[in-house]
Structure formats: structure tokens, C-alpha cells
Structure 1
Amino acid sequence: MKNRIIKIFILSISGLLFGCEGFLDPKPDQGLLTPSSLDDVQLLLDNTDVFNRQAMLINISADDFWTTSEAYQGMNVLEQGAYLWLEDPYQGSNILDWEVAYRQIFYANVALETLENYTGVELERAEELRGMALFYKSYAYFHLLQQFAPPYQRNGANDELLGIILRERAEINDPSERASLANSYEGLLRDLEEAVNLLPSNTGLKTRPSQAAGYGLLARVYLTMFDYEKAGNAAEIALQQYSERLDFNSLNIGSLRPFERFGPETVFYSILHSHAFSRGAQTYVDSLLIQSYEEGDLRKQAYFNLRDEGLFNMTGHHTGSTLVFGGLTVGELQLIAAESFARMGNEALALTYLNELLETRYQTEMWNPLEDLTGDELLNRILLERRKELVGRGIRWTDLRRLNQEEGFEKELVRVLDGQEFRLEPGSNAYVFPIPDNEIIRSGVDQNPR
């Protein structure tokens, strides 16, 4: 076991993610390490090149962006396959979205096994580190479920659907078997609910999960599972624990990149794997989405840059750079709270959370609180603001998968290339990515229908 861990534990993976940006310098020295102390575990869990990144292909497959036929020809096969929802979107390529998530789970399990054997006196610190490892593992499970498993079913039967491979040990030779979708979510929640009781209230670094981040992730998971009471309560706790807020009126709104990395809006920092699609000059924001930003809505200028007449690129990310943000923010938590309470019938509280968000997103002199919104009108406005606030973060794919299960919210996606139309129907098998070819060959797990 010791030799195996030494071979696998590479604590600095240069060039995979942040390149020369000097992310969170100084990084651990490149080298190999067998974790044995709490400092070793902290060093492992602070590997931002491993833990603070997440799936990219679902961002290409969703409807936030479109591209031209010319730009499509310049994409790699993975981007092309994801963009057009092709039957074989990989064409034999390695899939980072899968590999990195399971690397995160493996590293988290190594940390957890090390902590189980801890006999020192820093018990509180050891418990906090356990909470961090469980959070990272849950974060990886969540993204795997949104991409490689069917959407959680509002009407039940989740125990009859295949979920993901759950890994409870840091043993790469363990047999692989897909748990049911119900058991996959149960395993995620078991780890995450333990994590929120162990995480510290303040970590000092937004790349490390705090208790507010733990509750924020719980809120995101419960919303995906249609458990609005638990989602709303978790979002409220996270917002009570995390006191920072960002008023877009304070931004240099004319700047190409008005946000700072680790700014006050960020509860937990994570980015999507880098890909050419997000940076492409001919990757444009959906025109109907652009039109939904009213006069005085500062998000239109903060998020987007007018490139050609009527065509906008997304340039404003909460990374402060071209890297695409995918972590947890105050705005997302306010919208989870608003949607959850609206669906539970507490419309006054839902409207309070919606107004709290929008007051910080509109020009002060042009903002008037929303009043008298009720029923479907209130819910529709919340869902619209969710689309406008969370554009380009990898969240839209999950929203499409869950909202397609509700009458009146279904949406057909359409791409047009060289005059040919490609369609993604609500509930299509293409809303579930195939298990990567090399995993099928290695383990023989069942493939997703496509």
C-alpha cells in the first residue's frame, strides 16, 4: 500500500490548469509524498490543480452559447461531440471530466484513510481536514452525476436507474460497479452531511471549503433532487454564515474583466477545465438570453462584451481572467432560497431573497423592488433571474435536466450549422454522457444508452 501511494501521489501537477498564472503561489514542490501527518494531509487537500476544477463538456452542451460553422470546424472532437450531442461524442479521446473527478475522489479517500489512523492531539484540526476531504469527494460525485448518470427523477424510480461508481477506498484495483441513482445520491449526501458538521466556519482561503460552502453545496444537491424544503433551509444557513456581498454598482463596469479572483461574491472557488470553446471569439451568448437583461441590469455589461453588432462574448468571470468560474456564489444561494421558498408557498420570503439579489445587480437609481409577484409569475421570474445570473458556469445543464421534467418548463435545444439543424429533445438520452470508452474496456460497467 505504501509503495502504491508513493507512486500515485504527485502533489503538484503543473500546466494542467492554471499555467503561468501563479495560482495560489507558492505551490507545493513537485515531488512524491506518503501522507502521514496533518500537514501532509493539508498539503494534499490544498492541491488546487486537482480539487478546484470541474466538468467542461456540459457547459458546451447547454444552451447558454452558440458558435459559427467556421468556429465549429476549429474545435477538437470532444467539443464538437458535446456541442452537437453526437451519439459518440468522444471518438476515442480521454475524458478529463471523468478522469479528474475520480482523481479527486481517490485523493480525498487517501486523506480520509490517513486521518482514520491519526492518534495525535490536534483532534479539531483533524476533524476539519476530514470535513474538507468529504466535501471534495461530494463535489466530485455531484458533477459526475450531472454528466454521466440520468437526471434525478422527480416522480421516483431512482432506485431503478444506474448512477455512478462509488469509491469508498483509495484502492485503484477495487472492482467497479455502478450504484443505482438513488444509492449514488445517498452516498453523496452521507458524505456531505457529515462534512458540514466538521468544516470550519472560516478557512482563510476560498479554494478551501468552509461550512458555508458545505451548506451551499447541500442546497445545490437538494435543489437537483426536488427537495425544496431542505434546499431552502441549507441555502439560508449558508447565507447566514457567509456575510460578504458584492454590489455590482461598486464594480468598474466598463472593464473587460470587472471581477476579482476570490472576490466577495465567491463562497467557494472552482473553475471549469479550460477549453477553446469558452475563449473563442466566435462563441456567442444566446441572443434571447441577451435580450432578457433589462435596462439598468449591470450584469449585461459585467458579464458580456459586444463583439459584433448584436453578438456578445462572455468575458466577465468570477475568476478575474479567461478561466471559467464554476464554484459557489452568494447569488446562486439567494436564487436557490428564492426558488425553494416560492415552490413551498412562502412567497413573501422568496420575494425577499429575489429582491436582495436584484438590488445588487441593477443600477441604484433604476432599481425598484419587485412587489406583488405571486404564483407562476413569481416562479418564472426567479427562474429567469437564475438563467441570467448563473450563465456559463456549468449549472445550466443540470437546470435543463430537472426543468424538463416539469410541464410548461420543457425546452427543445436547436443548433444550426451550414443550414442543417440538430435538435435535443427534452428527456433525450443525450442528456446523459456516455461512460468513457477506456472505463468500459477496463471495468466492464454498463454503458449509458445514447
Structure 2
Amino acid sequence: MKNILKKSKLILLAGLLVSCEGFLDPKPNQSLVVPNTLTDVQNLLDNTTVFNNQGTLPLLSTNEFWATDEAYNGFATVVEQGTYRWADDPYQGSFTSDWSDPYSQVFYANVALETLAKIEEESGVSPQLNELKGAALFHRSYAYFNLLQQFSPPYSRDGDNEGSLGIVLRESADISTRPVRASLLESYSQIQTDLTMAAELLPQQASPKNRATKSAALGVLARFYLITFQYEQAIQAAEAALNLYQNRLDFNTLNFASSRPFARFNNEMIFYSVLSSVSFHRSAQVYADSTIVKLFEEGDLRLPAYFSKSSSGYYNFNKHLTGLPFLFGGISVGEMQLIAAEGYARQGNVQAASALLNELLSLRYQTGTWVDLEITDEDELLGRILEERKKELFGRGIRWTDLRRLNQYPTYQKSLIREINGEQFTLEPNSNRYVFPIPDDEIQRSGISQNPR
């Protein structure tokens, strides 16, 4: 009965912030529901509804999918329609959980960190306390990372990151203080600090995979270094994650006749997280972009593993790495291999880049059909690696971040075009619309600066 009461208190805590009108508003009577023990903190951090969920606006905005007019007209919310067509005001006064949910994660992580600090002061340090501290730091930094991909400009390869606006950084559970947006550089520096400490504190293994591990923290660090153009550090973080996490998934072992070929916590996953579900994902008339589908060569098992061909001849992305109807957004082995391969390719190390790419693809092609690539040209190899990112990481929300960073290279700049109900919409490279606006109600309540659109 005592454990049930403790879990009930934590469920109440998990509901308080969501019930508030805006994240940056003061909360009602927080003191009644603050956890007090290591078990309480573990239960709080095990709330998968809070911590293993991430935004979906980037998926609606990329060129991975296209919707028929009928599908577009049937989207359940104006937010989905506005985001899909890159509207100046995509929300039309509506609520978007892509902003509030990550800040919920930040709040709960800070509650955990403050509770752990009190326990440490009273009882000293323990291995369990350190692991929980690492998990809280991981979840906070992962939330910050996802917020930056949506609500701040991309990290500039050559520009002034100190002069650009980042996000609101919350280092305590007291949300009554006046919020201020940190600089982009400060925001990314906070992520690096949190993740580096998390990687030192977290265990190598954890079960189930919704819990943070050392390899998961290194995986997010690899993403961080990739999008901040620190390729040597990206290689080191990705390879360290791969060395710690030894499991690999051979797609030849999957049952493609099944509507769910993947087990929920399969060997490909380093850390489990899903994208928020919206009607866009569920529509039978939202199809994979044909230019990406054509990249799948004969024998590439990722096509039957993830897609089904519709009666119209187009492909639906309706089989997911999660083994559930939810789209995967977490950290995977394939992503780490591709990050390290890209880092090596950009450094001119063709041999190391090719070895990682061939290791990945040998497990993605039908047995007997794969022949190792022997690409000696650096630019050609980099192009192939970026193509493989489109296929391997399809439908995970990562393409949006890739577009933002690759638009800074003239060779890879791309204009996105949609045709909707007879009208054409275009998203130009490096447009302000690569940064989502902060919801108007949040701007009105908190007074923080809005993004130009």
C-alpha cells in the first residue's frame, strides 16, 4: 500500500505542470508532491509518458512525406495543417505540446536533481544516487536538445552563435522566476555540460531501454557534436557509444509479412523514445516521398521492414522500429554508425568511413546481395552517407535537423515545395521558417522574445 501511495503522489506530480496554463507560470502547492527518497526519484524518472516522448512538428515539416489534398483537409488540427505548409502562424492560437512537453521534462528532471541533492546532503553519495543524477541530467539535456531543434535557429557553422537566441534554461524546479532566453551558444554549452556529466554517472546497461545509460548519453553527445560541426568529437562519442553497446540487429532475421516486424525493445535501440502521435501519422493518404523511396536498392530490407505499398502505388510508412504504432525518435545503432562515418568522411578518412558504412549496410541488405562499397572519392562517399541517413533515419524527426545543418553547405542546400489544394508552398534554405514560433500564449504570459518568422 505504501508503494502505491508513493506512485500516486508521483503521478499527481506528473499531472500538475501539464494542468497549468503555461509552463513558465507558477504552479499550485508543489510541496505536497515532491519525492523524498531514491525510490521516489526512480519512479519519477521511470514515467515514460513524460520522459520518453518528443515533439512531432519537425516530422510534419520535412520532405520525407507528402499528403494528398484529402489527407491534408482531414488533419485533426490547424497546427498540423499550418506546420505542414510552413505557415507564418502555424498554431492559429492553438496549443502545441512540442513546446510544453520538453519543459515538463526539464521541470521533473530538476525536481529529481533537487531531491537528490537533499538526500546527498543528509545521507551522502551512493552508486544509486549517482546513477539517478545522471539520468536526470540526461533527460534535461535531451529536452533542451529537442527544444533547440525546433524553437531556436540552427547552430551556425561560421556565424555568431553567442548573438543568436537559444531557449529558456531552467536549472531549478522553481518556475516562478522571470524567464529569459539564453544565447544559442549558452544553450548548447549547457547541453554539453549536462551530457558529459551524465555519461560519467550513468551505468553501462539498464533495463528497460526507456532508462538512460552511458551509451545513450554518448549517443546524444554524438548528435550534439555532429550538428555543431565538431566532427572529431562526434566520431569519438559515436564510437564510444558503439563500443559500450555491442548488440546489432540483422534485418534478415525480421518477418516482413508481419505488420510489426520489430520487437518493442530490439537490439537496434540504444535508448527508447517515441514521437507524439498526431493524425498526420495515422492517415493512409500520407505517403513517403518517392525520391527517398527510389534510394532503396534491390535487396535493401529496410523497404519491406518499414513500408507497405498501397493500392495507389505509393508507400506508407506504417511499420516502426518501436514495434508499436508509435514512431521511434530515440538513439539507435545505425545512427551512431552513420554519425561516425560522416565524421570520418569529412576528415578525409575514406577507409574508416567506408568500414562503418559497410558494417551497417551488411545488416540491412538481403543475405547474398550486399557487396561492400569501394568508394575512394571523399565527396562521393559523403554523398552516399547522407543518402543512407535519409533511409536509415526515415520518420524519426532527424531529417529536419539535417536540413537545417546541411543548408549551411551550398552543395546540399535544398528548397522544399508542396502542392496543397492547387496552391504551391515553398520553404527556402535557411529561411526563418526553419525555426518554429514560440506559442503566442507563452509569449504573452512570460514576455520572452518571439522568433522572427
Stretches of structure 1 that go unaligned for 5 or more consecutive residues are 1-5, 17-31
Counterpart AA for 1:147: Q
2:51 corresponding residue in structure 1: 51
1:66 corresponding residue in structure 2: 66
C-alpha displacement at 1:174, in angstroms?
Answer: 1.3
Asked if 1:250 corresponds to 2:253, the answer is yes
SS of the equivalent of 1:313 reads strand
C-alpha displacement at 1:324, in angstroms?
Answer: 0.8
- Correspondence list, 1:360-371, <5 A: 360-371=363-374
Aligned mates of 2:391, 2:157 — CA distance in 1: 24
Asked if 1:83 corresponds to 2:84, the answer is yes
Counterpart AA for 1:61: S
SS of the equivalent of 1:391 reads coil
Q: TM-score, normalised by structure 1?
A: 0.93
Answer yes or no: is the 8 Å Cα contact 2:10–2:44 preserved in 1: no
Answer yes or no: is the 8 Å Cα contact 2:69–2:421 preserved in 1: yes
1:125 corresponding residue in structure 2: 128
SS of the equivalent of 1:293 reads coil
C-alpha displacement at 1:7, in angstroms?
Answer: 9.1
Stretches of structure 2 that go unaligned for 5 or more consecutive residues are 1-7, 19-31
> Which digits, 9 at most, give the CA deviation of each residue in 1:189-209, with x for residues without a partner?
111111100001111210001
SS of the equivalent of 2:412 reads coil
1:315 corresponding residue in structure 2: 318
Counterpart AA for 2:88: E
Asked if 1:403 corresponds to 2:403, the answer is no
- Correspondence list, 1:17-416, <5 A: 33-75=33-75, 76-118=77-119, 119-120=122-123, 123-416=126-419
Aligned mates of 1:42, 1:264 — CA distance in 2: 24
C-alpha displacement at 1:10, in angstroms?
Answer: 2.2
Aligned mates of 2:171, 2:362 — CA distance in 1: 44
C-alpha displacement at 1:121, in angstroms?
Answer: 5.6
Aligned mates of 2:92, 2:396 — CA distance in 1: 25
> Which digits, 9 at most, give the CA deviation of each residue in 1:74-96, with x for residues without a partner?
11101001100000000111110
C-alpha displacement at 1:12, in angstroms?
Answer: 6.0
For structure 1, which segment, 251-260 or 168-177, has the greater mean C-alpha deviation from structure 2 after superposition? 251-260
C-alpha displacement at 1:9, in angstroms?
Answer: 6.3
Answer yes or no: is the 8 Å Cα contact 2:268–2:332 preserved in 1: yes
Counterpart AA for 1:403: L
Query: Out of 431, 447, 451, which is 1:448 matched to?
Result: 451
Aligned mates of 2:52, 2:70 — CA distance in 1: 32
Asked if 1:10 corresponds to 2:12, the answer is yes
SS of the equivalent of 1:163 reads strand
Answer yes or no: is the 8 Å Cα contact 1:9–1:33 preserved in 2: no
Counterpart AA for 2:202: L
C-alpha displacement at 1:420, in angstroms?
Answer: 1.4
Aligned mates of 1:410, 1:120 — CA distance in 2: 55
Misfit runs of 4+, over 4 Å: 6-9
Counterpart AA for 2:418: R
Identity across matched positions, percent = 55
Aligned mates of 2:431, 2:327 — CA distance in 1: 27
SS of the equivalent of 1:352 reads helix
SS of the equivalent of 1:35 reads coil
SS of the equivalent of 1:445 reads coil
Answer yes or no: is the 8 Å Cα contact 1:9–1:34 preserved in 2: no
Q: CA RMSD in A?
A: 1.6
C-alpha displacement at 1:397, in angstroms?
Answer: 0.2
